[in-house]
């Protein structure tokens, strides 16, 4: 008997359109003889669209503003064997939807409430990884109320890290609100921007040399495996929103041209991070590799990475011999495992 799968896409984050592209790819890839897939698109306003409007959104790549404000029957996942929440960023990848599905008692692809929530929050991620002894760049926390009441304290914290540095909202994806700050004169504007988007902000030191950005995919639940290592190359100062989503601004290299011992260390650290954060199903773990010093520094863990056929995560496992259709099928199988 076919398994009935509810595929959620869209959502309220800046990666709404990427999610729709990923959903089209997954819809086409899940074997029709094994799965009966029902897509539901969530609009940018958080409304769950009925079938006709869902199909229109998938075809056009843009969701209308209509839909039900109150979650319709699909939200209960009644009658489905599993849910594939192909949602990125806040209100999708941060434990909120995972909590809804957990309450409904329905299996779903990816990390649970804890792993999703902790991995989405940059500060919580860093604190957990630090406790696990996983190397990261130096960083500091600032909160909005402190910035309003004691701005000099925050400025001193930034100065202690040294310039240049990055200012990042704690809980947003897609590189939204991230600023590279080259001097103290640029700090206030960067903090004002970040605090307009989040009440908690992370100050992050830069490495002494420009690092290489390398990524590895993780697949599995209690016995996860790591993919070959890939590398992102780009000319911009950092992997910002424009570089990420403008064709031709960045290129992927799989496998990354790295010494074997470095690639092995990246894979080992990625698996440690996956377990430390209580992730499940899948994740893409991103690192900085400072070639001049040999440093490996974990940057972030993405529990629902981009999933088009040309996205880094599927390409990493394709290099390991697992094609796109087999990969999405395996993810559904992992969702149905007892954990």
Active site residues: 15, 174, 311
> Quick one: which of 304, 308, 248, 253 has its CA closest to 280?
304
- Three-state DSSP at 108 gives strand
Other CB atoms within 10 Å distance of the CB of residue 101: 25
Q: Report the relative pairing of strands 35-42 and 3-10 from DSSP bridges.
A: parallel
Q: Is 37 assigned a ligand-binding role in the annotation?
A: no
> Quick one: which of 146, 184, 143 has its CA closest to 165?
184
Q: Is 206 assigned a ligand-binding role in the annotation?
A: yes
Q: Is 166 assigned a ligand-binding role in the annotation?
A: yes
Task: Report how far residue 57's alpha carbon sits from residue 122's, in angstroms, rounded to the nearest whole number.
Answer: 31
Q: Is 196 assigned a ligand-binding role in the annotation?
A: no
Q: Is 335 assigned a ligand-binding role in the annotation?
A: no
Q: Is 47 assigned a ligand-binding role in the annotation?
A: no
Q: Is 212 assigned a ligand-binding role in the annotation?
A: yes
> Quick one: which of 20, 60, 25, 21 has its CA closest to 40?
20
Q: Is 300 assigned a ligand-binding role in the annotation?
A: yes
**Pair 84, 6: CB distance under 8 Å:** yes
Q: Is 234 assigned a ligand-binding role in the annotation?
A: no
Q: Is 167 assigned a ligand-binding role in the annotation?
A: yes
Q: Is 315 assigned a ligand-binding role in the annotation?
A: no
Integer distance in angstroms from the first to the last C-alpha of the chain?
A: 23
Q: Is 210 assigned a ligand-binding role in the annotation?
A: yes
**Pair 203, 161: CB distance under 8 Å:** yes
Q: Which strand (E) or helix (H) includes residue 285?
A: strand 281-290
Residue 335 CA: distances (Å) to CA of 38, 110, 111, 279: 17, 7, 9, 12
Task: Report how far residue 238's alpha carbon sits from residue 21's, in angstroms, rounded to the nearest whole number.
Answer: 24
Binding-site residues for Mg(2+) sit at 286, 300, 302
Binding-site residues sit at 122, 166-168, 174-175, 204-213, 286, 299-300, 302
Binding-site residues for ATP sit at 122, 166-168, 174-175, 204-213, 299-300
């Amino acid at each position: 008997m076919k398994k009935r799968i509810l595929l959620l896409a869209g959502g309220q984050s800046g990666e709404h359109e990427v999610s729709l592209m990923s959903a089209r790819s997954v819809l086409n890839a899940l074997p029709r003889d094994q799965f009966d897939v029902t897509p539901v698109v969530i609009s940018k306003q958080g409304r769950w669209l009925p079938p006709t409007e869902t199909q229109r959104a998938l075809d056009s790549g843009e969701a209308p503003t209509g839909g039900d404000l109150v979650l319709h029957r699909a939200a209960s996942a009644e009658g489905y064997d599993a849910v594939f929440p192909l949602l990125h960023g806040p209100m999708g990848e941060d434990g909120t939807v995972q909590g809804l599905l957990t309450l409904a008692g329905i299996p779903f692809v990816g990390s649970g409430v804890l792993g999703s929530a902790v991995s989405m929050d940059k500060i919580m991620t860093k604190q957990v990884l630090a406790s696990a002894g996983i190397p990261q760049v130096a960083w500091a926390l600032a909160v909005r109320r402190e910035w309003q009441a004691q701005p000099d304290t925050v400025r001193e914290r930034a100065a202690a890290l040294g310039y240049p540095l990055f200012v990042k909202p704690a809980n947003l994806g897609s590189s939204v609100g991230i600023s590279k700050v080259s001097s103290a004169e640029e700090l206030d504007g960067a903090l004002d921007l970040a605090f307009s988007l989040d009440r908690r902000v992370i100050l992050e030191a830069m490495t002494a040399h420009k690092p290489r950005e390398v990524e590895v995919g993780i697949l599995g639940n209690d016995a996860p495996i790591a993919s070959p290592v890939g590398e992102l190359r780009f000319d911009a100062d950092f992997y910002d929103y424009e570089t990420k989503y403008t064709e031709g601004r960045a290129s992927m290299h799989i496998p990354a041209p790295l010494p074997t011992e470095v690639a092995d260390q990246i894979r080992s650290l990625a698996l440690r991070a996956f377990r430390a954060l209580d992730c499940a199903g899948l994740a893409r773990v991103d690192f900085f590799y400072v070639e001049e010093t040999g440093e490996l520094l974990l940057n972030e863990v993405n529990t629902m990475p981009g999933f088009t056929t040309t996205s880094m995560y599927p390409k990493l496992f394709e290099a390991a011999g697992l094609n796109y259709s087999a990969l999405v099928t395996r993810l559904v199988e992992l969702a149905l495992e007892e954990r």
